[in-house]
Structure 1
Amino acid sequence: MNLKIPLIIIVACVLLTIPSCKSYLDVVPDNVPTIDNAFALRQEAEKYLFTCYSYLPLDGDIESNPAFCAGDEFWMIRPYSMGEAPWQIAMGYQSANNIYMSIWSSMFKGLRDCNIFLDNIDKVVDMPAFEKTRWRAEVKFLKAYYHWCLFRRYGPIPLIDKNLPISSTSDEVQIPRQSADSVVNYIAGLLDEAARDLPAEITNSSSELGRITQPIALAIKARLLVTAASPLFNGNTDYSNVKSYDGSLLFNPVYDETKWEKAAAACKTAIDACHAVGMRLYTFNKLGTSLSEKLVTQMSIRNSVCEEWNQEVIWNNPNSRTYTLQRYAMPRLDPAKLANELNLGSLAPTLKMAELFYTANGVPINEDKTWDYANRYTLKTATAQESEYLTEGYQTAALHFNREPRFYADIAFDGARWFMENGTFNVQAKSGQWQSRKGIYNYSATGYFTKKLVNWKYVILDGLGLSIESYPWPEMRLADLYLLYAEALNEARGPVEETFTYINQVRQRAALPTVQTSWTSYSRQPGKFQTKEGLRQIIQQERLIELAFEGSRFWDLRRWKRAFEELNKQVMGWDIEQADPAYYYRPKMLYKQVFQTRDYLWPLDVWDLLGNKRLVQNPGW
C-alpha cells in the first residue's frame, strides 16, 4: 500500500530502560542509575521528553477512543471487524469486574515519567536554560493533560504532583482521590504554568510539528473549565453523598454560576492566543481547482478536519494518525477498481445522526415550518437542481433533501454524491448495488457512511492498493473553542451579543444564516434564541452538528447530563438488506441501548481498590 506520512518528531518509545510501573501506586523511581544516565546529555533527555509524549491517547483510533463507538453516533453489525470493547460499553455491558477501555494504569505511568523528567531536566549539562524552560513547560502540559484525561473519565482522582521517594512506607503510597474542584484547580494551575513558558507557535515546522504550544495549553484549559462548569460536575445532586475514605465530599452539590464566568474568560483568552498567531476557521482554496460555491463549502467543512496542520486546527495529535480510521469510514466507492475490497465502510452513522443536522434554512428538521417533517421517510426523486448533493433521477428518502451543507459534507447515503480529488462518485447502497453488503462485515449497518473523516486525496489504485493521506488526529479545532465560548457566555450572562458573534461565525463557514435570521424566519419557535434556556438548546445542537463524528458528542452528552436521555434510545438505520426503495427506506431498529446513571463515570478496578484502602469506588459500581 502506498501510504503518505509527513515527518513527525514524536516517537512512541525510547532506546533506554525506563522503570516499570505495575499500577498508579508504583510512583517510586526504582532505577536511579538509569535515570541519571537518561539526563546526562541533551540527546538522552530528548528521548525522555518524547517518552512523556508517547502516553498521549490514540484518539484517532476507533479501538482506543471510546468517543467513537461507545456512544450513539456509529453502529456496526457483529461480528465486528475491530475489537469489541467500545461496543460492550455502548450495549451497557461495563462492570467493575470487567472494565473496558480503561486508561487508569497507562495515564498514571505517564504521570510518573513526567515527574521523573521534571525532577531531572536541570541535570542536563549541554542544554541552554531557555530550552530547558520550554521542555519543562511541555511536560507540565502533558502532566496536566494526563490528569485531565483521567478526570474526564473517572471524575475525582488522586493527584500525582510528585513521585514518592524510595523510602516511602506502604501507608504513604495509599493516595486518596481528591475532590472534583481540587482536581480541576490543580490541572488549571499546571496549564497556566505551562502556558507562560510555551512558544506561541511552532516555527520549525520541518521537525517540531505536534509539539505543545501556548494556544494548545490555553484551549485545553478552556475545555477543562467548561466541563467543570457543566451539570455533571457543577451542582450535581446525584453525587451529593459521594465521599472519600475520610468522609469529605468528592463532589460539591451546590451549583456555582461563577464557574461559567471563569470558563468564559478562559475561552476568550485561548481564542485571543489563537488569533494572535493567525488561526482562523478553515476555508478551502486549492490553486488550480475550480469548484462550485456549494462544493467549496463542503470541502471547507471536510478539510477543516482532514487537512493536516491547517489554520483551524489548534492541536494535531501526532501520536494518532488516521490510516485505519479512514478505511473504516470509506465504502467501496470506486466500482472500477479491484482494490475496492480494501475499503471497509463499516463506520456507519446512525439514523439519529442523519436527523440531527439542520434543514437548508439552518434550523432543526422538526422546527422548520417550511420542511415536511412528518413525511421525511417517503421517497423523492432528485432533480438536476440537486445534482451536486444527490444523484439526478435517483430515488432516495425525503430526509435527504433540502438539508444544510454540513449534512452533505459529513454523511453519505444511498443516492448521495461523493466528491474526491480524483472524481465524483455516486453512492448506491441498496441490496445488490456497489456500496451494499458484500460479506460478513465491512459494510454499513445503517445505510450511512462517514464522509467527513475521509481525506479527499484518498485514492483507490489501479492495482490492489490504496493511497491514503493519513492526517494526525485533530484534538481541537477553533470551531470547537468558539462554541465552548458561546456556551459559557450564555450560561453566565444569557443571550448577549458576543454569544451570537462566535456561533454565527461557525454557521457562516457552513453557509447558513445567523441564528437570529434562521429562527425568526423559519422556526416554529421564532423567539427561542432570546432566552438562556432556548439558546442553550441551540448551542448544544450546533456543537453536536459541527463536531459530529469527531469524538465530541460522547463527552458532551455526559457533561450536559443528557446521556441518560439519549443513550437509552433505539439505534436505528435503514433496512439495508432490501433492493426495492420502498422497502429499503423503512427505519429498522438495530439495538436498544442501555445507559444507567452510574455510566456517567468509569468504574475503578476492584484490584486497585483492594490495593489502596483509601480509594473509593465511583457511585453505582
Structure 2
Amino acid sequence: MKKYTYKKYIQTMMLAVAVIPFFSSCDYLDKEPDDMLTIDAVFDNADYTKQWLAGVYNLVPDPLWEYMNFAGYGYYMMSDETQMASSLGQFGWGNLMNVQQGSWTPTQIIPGKNLWKETYQKVRSGLIFLERVKEIPDQRQTVELVERYKNEVRFLIAYYYSRMLEVYGPFPLITSLMDVNDSGEVLKKERTPYDEIVNYLDNEFMELSKILPSSYDNVNIGRPTSGACLALRARMLMFAASPLFNGNEDFKDVVNKDGTPLFSQSKDNKKWEKAAVAAKLVIDLPEYDLYKEYLEDGSIDALMSCTNLYLTTTEQNPEIIMAFPGKTSSLYEYHLMPRKSGFAGCISATQNIVDAFFMKNGLSIDELGSGYVEEGFSTEDTYYPTKYTYGSADKKEGLVTPKGTYNMYVNREPRFYANIRFHGKYCSFDDDKRQHNFLNGGQDGKPSHDSPIAGYQINKAIHPATRSGSYPYKPGIIVRLGEMYLNYAEALNEYNPGHTDITKYVNLIRERAGLPALKSGLSQSEMREAIHHERRVEFAFEGGMRYMDIRRWKEAEKVFETPISGMNTDAKTNNDFFKRTEIQKRIFLKKMYLWPIYQTYLDNNEKMVQNKYW
C-alpha cells in the first residue's frame, strides 16, 4: 500500500503539474510530519474527507479584504478608486505601490497572493479528491453526498481557472490527475489557447448548472448552486467578448513555441451575443431579484436599498447569487474606518471615484443642468425620502447632509452616501456624536499615516453601527444579479444596439439607486459610455470590478492619464482642505493588461511562453 504522508500531500498539491520545480527551496517541505496517514485512510474516513474538501474550498476569496490588500490580490489598489499613503510601504504595501508606478517584473510575485501557484495546488487537490472520494455507508457518507461533493469540486476547479483566465489569459489547462512520479518532461505543458479554455469552462459550468441544487439551507451558505454556475459562466463570457480578448491586435503574434496561436486572430461579434444570452439566462432564474427596500407609500427607499444590499444576510437578500462561505475579515473595516473611532483608516477613496457619482437628478457633475456646486457650504439641511438616520448625531430620519456640508457633497445620488465618507460627515462609529475630521491635526487625519491620503473613506459594506472590536455580520458578495443586468445591457448594446432591453435593464439599476431613466435616443457609442459609467458607480469598491472592467475594455492606459487626486489633506483649516490636490500620477503600461507569468515557472518549463511585452 502506498504511504501518503501529510508531507507528501503538501508536495503533491504543490507540484502543480506545469510548474513542478519551483518549490524545491521550501525548507518546511524537508521537515518530517508528526503523523502519517495513507491516502486510503484519508478517504476511508468521512471526517477526513470533509476536511480535504474544505481545503479545496479555501481559495474562494474574501471579496472585500482579499481584493484590497497587498497580501491578497490588490485589485482595488490597481484601479483608480483607492489610494494609500506612501508611508504604508513599511507595512507591506510597497509592492502594490510599485505596480501603481509601472514597476513590475516577472521576477516578482505581485500582489502577495500567488494566484497561479495556488490555483494549481487546489486543482491538484481537487483532482485527487475526485479520484479517491467514495461512499462510506456506516459514516453516513452516501452515494448522493459523494456525488454532490464531486460536483462541488468540479465547480471550484472551474471557478479557480476562470479567475486565472481573467488576469493571466491562457495557461496550461489541466483536467486530469497526473502521477507526480512521472518524468519532468511528461509534466511540462504548454499554454492552452484562450478560446479552448473558455469552451471547456463554458461546458463545465453549463453541465454543473443542470445538476447542482438551486439553493441550500443557511448552514450551507457559500456552496455552489446552479445559479452560481450560470453567473460565473456569464462573467467569463463577458471577458471573452471584450476588446482585451476578442480580436486584440496586440496579441496576434502570441503563440506557443510550436506556433499555435494563444488568442483569437479576429474579432467575433457573436461572442457578445453569447455573453448576452448567458446573462439573460441568469436574469430569468426565479430565485433572484434586485434587493430593494420600500417606504410606506410603496416607493423605493434608494439610500437604504443601496446601503443594506451589502449588509443583509443571504437568506434575506434575493440579489446575492454567490457569497463567500465564511465570515469576511474585520481587517476590511479596520483599514477603512476612522482612527478616532479605534480603527486604522489608512485606505482612501479617491477624488476620481467621488467625481464619478451622479447628482440626485441623474446627471453627471459636469453636465449642464446637474446643479453641481463645487465650492462653499450648504445653507440648509438636505432631506431625501428615506428611513436613513445616520446623517446627524440626533438621527433625524431622512437627513442626508446637514447645513454646513461642503457643497461638493450635497444633492448627490444615494449611492454616493452609501459608498463614501467625507470630511465633515457625521461619524456613527463611536459615541462622541462627532463628525469625521480629516484635517492635518484632526482626530482622523494627518500627520498619522492612519488617515485617508485623499480625504475620503470607503463606506461600502460597512455597517453604520460598527464599533471597534465588534463587527456585525455581512455577506461577502462574489456575484450578484445587478452585475447580470449590466452585463446583459453591455453585451446587447455591442451586437444588437437599439434593443429595448438595453435601456430597460440599465434603468432598473438606476431606479433602485433613486435615479431617473436614461434619456432616450442614445447612439450605440453614447449607450456604451453610459453603461460604462453606470458600472463604475454601481460596482465601486466591489470585488475588484473596476480593475477588471478597465482592463477588459482596454481603457486602463487612458484612465490613468488622469492623475489620482483628492482633497488637500495637509491642510489644517476647512478652507484649505477643500481644494483639489494631485496625489499621484499612475503609470499603466500596455504589458500590464495581463499579469506576467513568474519567471521561475518559465525557467522550469521551456514549453511555456511569457505574456507579451514582459
> Shorter-chain-normalised TM-score: which range?
0.7 to 0.9
Identity of aligned residues (%): 28
Specify which of 76, 79, 97 is matched with residue 71 of structure 1: 79
Q: Map of 1:234-253 to 2, 5 A cutoff?
A: 234-253=246-265
Specify which of 430, 438, 453 is matched with residue 445 of structure 1: 453
Specify which of 267, 276, 289 is matched with residue 280 of structure 1: 289
Specify which of 50, 54, 57 is matched with residue 54 of structure 2: 50
SS at match of 1:476: strand
The equivalent of 1:263 in structure 2 is: 275
Q: Map of 1:326-365 to 2, 5 A cutoff?
A: 326-332=333-339, 340=340, 342-365=342-365
Specify which of 598, 601, 611 is matched with residue 608 of structure 1: 601
Specify which of 309, 318, 327 is matched with residue 311 of structure 1: 318
| Change in CA separation of 1:424 and 1:292 when aligned onto 2, cut-off 3 Å | farther
Distance 2:432 2:514 in 1: 23
Distance 1:55 1:34 in 2: 25
Question: What amino acid maps onto 1:194 in structure 2?
Answer: L
Question: What amino acid maps onto 2:290 in structure 1?
Answer: L
Contact 1:314 1:477 in 2 (8 A): yes
Contact 1:41 1:125 in 2 (8 A): no
The equivalent of 1:381 in structure 2 is: 378
Contact 2:86 2:97 in 1 (8 A): no
Question: What amino acid maps onto 1:580 in structure 2?
Answer: T
Specify which of 298, 302, 311 is matched with residue 303 of structure 2: 298
- What are the Cα deviations for residues 417-442 of structure 1, in whole angstroms up to 9, with x where unaligned? 456798986334333443333x5311
Distance 2:342 2:431 in 1: 18
SS at match of 2:9: coil
Contact 1:215 1:270 in 2 (8 A): yes
Distance 1:424 1:601 in 2: 47
The equivalent of 2:483 in structure 1 is: 480
Q: Map of 1:5-16 to 2, 5 A cutoff?
A: none
The equivalent of 2:102 in structure 1 is: 92
Q: Tell me the CA shift for residue 589 of structure 1.
A: 1.2
- Structure 1 window deviating more from structure 2 (57-66 vs 88-97): it is 57-66
Distance 1:312 1:16 in 2: 43
The equivalent of 2:531 in structure 1 is: 539
Specify which of 553, 557, 581 is matched with residue 550 of structure 2: 557
- What are the Cα deviations for residues 330-376 of structure 1, in whole angstroms up to 9, with x where unaligned? 114xxxxxxx352122221100100001111212222243435xxx5
Q: Map of 1:211-250 to 2, 5 A cutoff?
A: 211-250=223-262
Q: Could you say what the CA RMSD is over the residues aligned between the two structures, in angstroms?
A: 2.8
Q: Tell me the CA shift for residue 27 of structure 1.
A: 8.7
Q: Tell me the CA shift for residue 579 of structure 1.
A: 2.8
Q: What is the TM-score of this pair, normalised by structure 2?
A: 0.87
The equivalent of 2:24 in structure 1 is: none
SS at match of 2:245: coil
| Change in CA separation of 1:537 and 1:389 when aligned onto 2, cut-off 3 Å | farther
| Change in CA separation of 1:27 and 1:157 when aligned onto 2, cut-off 3 Å | closer
| Change in CA separation of 1:267 and 1:456 when aligned onto 2, cut-off 3 Å | same
Distance 1:424 1:251 in 2: 57
Q: Does 1:434 align with 2:443?
A: yes
Distance 2:476 2:52 in 1: 23
Question: What amino acid maps onto 1:362 in structure 2?
Answer: G
Contact 2:364 2:370 in 1 (8 A): no
| Change in CA separation of 1:294 and 1:177 when aligned onto 2, cut-off 3 Å | same
Contact 2:135 2:142 in 1 (8 A): no
Distance 1:475 1:504 in 2: 23
Specify which of 15, 18, 24 is matched with residue 9 of structure 2: 18
Q: Tell me the CA shift for residue 15 of structure 1.
A: 9.1
Q: Does 1:467 align with 2:470?
A: yes
Contact 1:411 1:451 in 2 (8 A): yes
Distance 2:488 2:430 in 1: 35
Specify which of 497, 503, 507 is matched with residue 504 of structure 1: 507
The equivalent of 2:213 in structure 1 is: 199
- Structure 1 window deviating more from structure 2 (105-114 vs 314-323): it is 314-323
Contact 1:572 1:590 in 2 (8 A): yes
Contact 1:357 1:404 in 2 (8 A): yes
Q: Tell me the CA shift for residue 300 of structure 1.
A: 1.4
- What are the Cα deviations for residues 393-451 of structure 1, in whole angstroms up to 9, with x where unaligned? 3252x3222221111211111233456798986334333443333x5311111111111
Distance 1:394 1:239 in 2: 53
SS at match of 1:453: coil
Q: Tell me the CA shift for residue 165 of structure 1.
A: 2.4
- What are the Cα deviations for residues 437-492 of structure 1, in whole angstroms up to 9, with x where unaligned? 3x5311111111111231233135xxxxx311143421112111211111111112
Q: Tell me the CA shift for residue 391 of structure 1.
A: 4.8
Q: Identify unmatched segments of 5+ residues in structure 2.
A: 21-28, 384-390, 392-397
Q: Does 1:163 align with 2:177?
A: yes
| Change in CA separation of 1:252 and 1:293 when aligned onto 2, cut-off 3 Å | same
Contact 1:137 1:195 in 2 (8 A): no
The equivalent of 2:387 in structure 1 is: none
SS at match of 1:609: helix
Distance 1:451 1:249 in 2: 44
Contact 2:341 2:429 in 1 (8 A): no
Q: Tell me the CA shift for residue 113 of structure 1.
A: 0.7
Question: What amino acid maps onto 1:573 in structure 2?
Answer: G
Contact 1:60 1:320 in 2 (8 A): no
SS at match of 1:533: helix
Specify which of 98, 101, 112 is matched with residue 124 of structure 2: 112
Contact 1:99 1:603 in 2 (8 A): no
Contact 1:39 1:123 in 2 (8 A): no
Distance 1:601 1:358 in 2: 31
SS at match of 1:163: coil
- Structure 1 window deviating more from structure 2 (417-426 vs 108-117): it is 417-426
Q: Tell me the CA shift for residue 78 of structure 1.
A: 2.3
Distance 2:569 2:172 in 1: 48
Distance 1:295 1:486 in 2: 22
| Change in CA separation of 1:172 and 1:15 when aligned onto 2, cut-off 3 Å | closer
SS at match of 1:318: coil
Distance 1:594 1:292 in 2: 50
Q: Tell me the CA shift for residue 253 of structure 1.
A: 2.7
| Change in CA separation of 1:594 and 1:216 when aligned onto 2, cut-off 3 Å | same
- What are the Cα deviations for residues 504-536 of structure 1, in whole angstroms up to 9, with x where unaligned? 111111111111xxx36xxxxxx4x2x221111
Contact 2:135 2:143 in 1 (8 A): no
Question: What amino acid maps onto 1:502 in structure 2?
Answer: Y
Question: What amino acid maps onto 2:261 in structure 1?
Answer: L
SS at match of 2:476: strand
- Structure 1 window deviating more from structure 2 (184-193 vs 75-84): it is 75-84
- Structure 1 window deviating more from structure 2 (301-310 vs 344-353): it is 301-310
The equivalent of 2:187 in structure 1 is: 173
Distance 2:6 2:318 in 1: 34
Distance 2:589 2:64 in 1: 27
- What are the Cα deviations for residues 571-600 of structure 1, in whole angstroms up to 9, with x where unaligned? 101111213333212211111100000000
SS at match of 1:579: coil
The equivalent of 1:577 in structure 2 is: 570
Distance 2:16 2:8 in 1: 19
Contact 1:18 1:34 in 2 (8 A): no
